[in-house]
Amino acid sequence: MQPRTTSADEPVTATRQLAQFVERTRWSDIPEAVRHEAKRALVNYFAVGFAGCADPSIGKAVQVYRRLRAGYEASLIGRAERTDMLNAAALNAMTANVHDFDDTHLPTIIHPTAPVAAPLFAFSESKSMTGEALLLAFVVGVEIECRIGNAVSPSHYQRGWHITSTCGVFGAAAAAAKIIKLDNSQIAAAFGHASAQAGGLVETLGTMAKSVSVGNAAKHGMLSAWLAADGLSGPARPIEGERGFLRVTADKPDFNALTAGLGSVWALQANTYKPYPCGVVLNPVIEACLDLARDRHWSLADIERVELVGHPLLRERTDRLDIRSGREAQVSAQHSVAVVLATGRAGLAEFSDSSAADPALRAFAGRVAFVDDSRFPVEAARVTVLLRSGESVSRTVSAARGSLAVPLSDAELDSKLKELAAYGAPHIATQRLLDTLWTLDTAGDAAMPMHIARVETG
* 3-state class (DSSP) for residue 36: helix
Q: Where are the domains of the chain?
A: 4-273+420-453, 280-397
- E-strand ranges in 340-454 read 368-372, 381-387, 392-397
Q: Supply the pLDDT for residue 456.
A: 83
Handedness of CA 257, 258, 263, 269 (dihedral sign): positive
**Amino acid, res. 400:** A
Each residue of 293-306: pLDDT tens digit?
Answer: 998 889 999 999 99
Cα angle for residues 79, 84, 90 (degrees, 5° grid): 70
351 and 329 Cβ atoms separated by less than 8 Å: yes
Percent of the chain with pLDDT over 70: 97
Q: What is the mean pLDDT of residues 214-232?
A: 98
Provide the 8-state DSSP code for 344.
S
Q: Supply the pLDDT for residue 10.
A: 47
Model confidence at 291: pLDDT above 70: yes
Residue bearing the bigger pLDDT, 4 or 230: 230
Percent of the chain with pLDDT over 90: 94
- E-strand ranges in 21-140 read 74-75, 82-83, 104-105
Q: What is the mean pLDDT of residues 259-273?
A: 97
Model confidence at 53: pLDDT above 70: yes
Q: Supply the pLDDT for residue 285.
A: 98
Q: Supply the pLDDT for residue 295.
A: 86
* CB-facing half-sphere around the CA of 26: CA atoms within 13 A: 1
Concatenated DSSP letters of 249-280: H-SS--GGGGTTTTTTS-GGGGEE--SSSS-G
CATH number for 4-273+420-453: choose from 1.10.150.120, 1.10.4100.10, 3.30.479.30, 3.20.20.100.
1.10.4100.10
Distance CA 21, CA 46 (A): 28
Q: Supply the pLDDT for residue 277.
A: 95
Q: What is the mean pLDDT of residues 308-333?
A: 94
Omega before residue 407 within 30° of 0, cis? no
96 and 151 Cβ atoms separated by less than 8 Å: no
Q: Supply the pLDDT for residue 11.
A: 57
Each residue of 370-398: pLDDT tens digit?
Answer: 999 999 998 999 999 999 999 999 999 99
Q: How many Cβ atoms are within 10 Å of 64's Cβ, its own excluded?
A: 11
Distance CA 214, CA 173 (A): 13
Q: Supply the pLDDT for residue 3.
A: 46
Model confidence at 251: pLDDT above 80: yes
Q: Do domains 4-273+420-453 and 280-397 have the same CATH topology?
A: no
Concatenated DSSP letters of 291-339: HHHHT--S-GGGEEEEEEEE-HHHHHHH---S--SHHHHTT-HHHHHHH
* CB-facing half-sphere around the CA of 47: CA atoms within 13 A: 31
Model confidence at 320: pLDDT above 80: yes
Q: Which CATH code is given to the segment(s) 280-397?
A: 3.30.1330.120
Averaged pLDDT score across all residues of the chain: 95
Model confidence at 217: pLDDT above 90: yes
Strands 104-105 and 271-272: antiparallel
Distance CA 240, CA 179 (A): 25
Distance CA 131, CA 378 (A): 34
Each residue of 134-146: pLDDT tens digit?
Answer: 999 999 999 999 9
Q: What is the mean pLDDT of residues 419-430?
A: 97
